Amino acid sequence: MDIRSAQKLAWENKTAKGFNTSDVPLEFGLLTAEIGEAFTAWRKGLPDLGEELADVFLYLVALAEMNGIDLSDEVAHKIDKNTRRVYERNEHGVPIRIGEG
């Protein structure tokens, strides 16, 4: 499934179920909670890590929809931008961006 389709389906589910579709700060809070659940699943080695990551994705695309953002286009743009960035490692081995290719 592509991002655009997932965004549309996640939004349709929210509206059909009467979930939050307008309170952006609440949606950020719910997204944060889902990230916490995913981290806990990973940390404890629980079998539902994939499902928790899917929840994070669904909250994220719904948040994008609330704000009129086509996340598919934004992700493609960001991946392109990231591939053109140039990094060098500092004396501690940390990658430091030194330019845009």
pLDDT on residue 40: 98
Domain span at residue 30 reads 1-69
DSSP 46-62: -TTHHHHHHHHHHHHHH
61 and 14 within one domain: yes
Would you call 28 helix, strand, or coil by DSSP? helix
Number of compact structural domains in the chain:
2
pLDDT tens digit sequence for 60-94: 999 999 999 999 999 999 999 999 999 999 999 99
101 and 65 within one domain: no
Measured between its terminal Cα atoms, the distance across the chain in Å is: 31
Residue 29: which CATH number?
1.10.287
pTM attached to this predicted model: 0.88
pLDDT on residue 30: 97
pLDDT tens digit sequence for 7-31: 999 999 999 999 999 999 999 999 9
Which residues lie across from 96 on neighbouring strands?
88
11 and 54 within one domain: yes
pLDDT confidence band for 101 (50 / 70 / 90): confident
Would you call 10 helix, strand, or coil by DSSP? helix
